[in-house]
Copies of this chain bind each other. A is one copy, B any other.
Amino acid sequence: MSKVFVNVALSLDGFTSPSGMTLQNWKDPSIDQWGAKWGALMGWILPLEWFRQHLKLGPGGETGPVNDFMKETSERIGANIMGKRMFETGEVSWPDEAPFHTPVFVLTHEKRAPWVRPGGTTFHFFNEGPEKALALAREAAGTKDVRISGGADVIQQYLRMGVVDELELSIAPVFFGSGRRLFENLGTPPPGFTIARTLAGPRATHVRYVRAAPKS
């Protein structure tokens, strides 16, 4: 069966996005310095060969284990699930060819026809709850995996459901001070993970955690 996984970048103080990084402020990244903070968090990804190809930024770029890791992660995705806020900021910033190339299930109360983009991305707007969205995403993914793309609240929802098989974090030495925390509201007992793989990048530490077997 498809695995369900998360792959996000995390500031050292535990945020996935800085305060101020909202749809409303999208055109003014100087508000709360959100643009500079986000840029610092993602500084490791921009030079990768995979990233440059993926966003059609041109040839060249860094190769090596971190590049391979991100390429593998990208290629294993058969469907994405994301929250409404993540979609809304993406809607105004992704290129026409949205960088997913899979079905994307957007958790929202909005009723809207599927939005088909060039390059294989189709956004499905879905309001029957996260379990049902996951079932559809699994079906759409086929033999590939389902990525819970974000934001933090959506990831938390699936962590609480206990269905996240792998958690891939890229932890960068950046402090946001405030923003959206990844690991809160995790329920009791919290989910259990063990370390499966560590990649020591120069600008971020990439760790794959896998769900621990339930205690018998």
Contacts and interface: CB of A to CB of B under 8 A. Distances in A.
A120 interface: no
A209 interface: yes
A23 interface: no
A189 to B, nearest CB: 9
Interface string A189-216: 0111111001011111101010000000
A153 interface: no
A151 interface: no
Given A14-B14, A198-B205, A175 B171 contact: no
A173 interface: yes
Contact of A195 (B173, B188, B191, B207): B173
Nearest to A176: B190
A187 to B, nearest CB: 9
A190 B203 contact: no
Contacts of A173: 192-195, 209
Given A13-B14, A173-B193, A198-B198, 20 more contacts: A12-B183, A12-B193, A12-B209, A13-B183, A13-B184, A13-B190, A14-B14, A14-B183, A171-B171, A171-B207, A173-B192, A175-B183, A175-B186, A177-B184, A177-B186, A195-B202, A195-B204, A198-B200, A200-B200, A205-B205
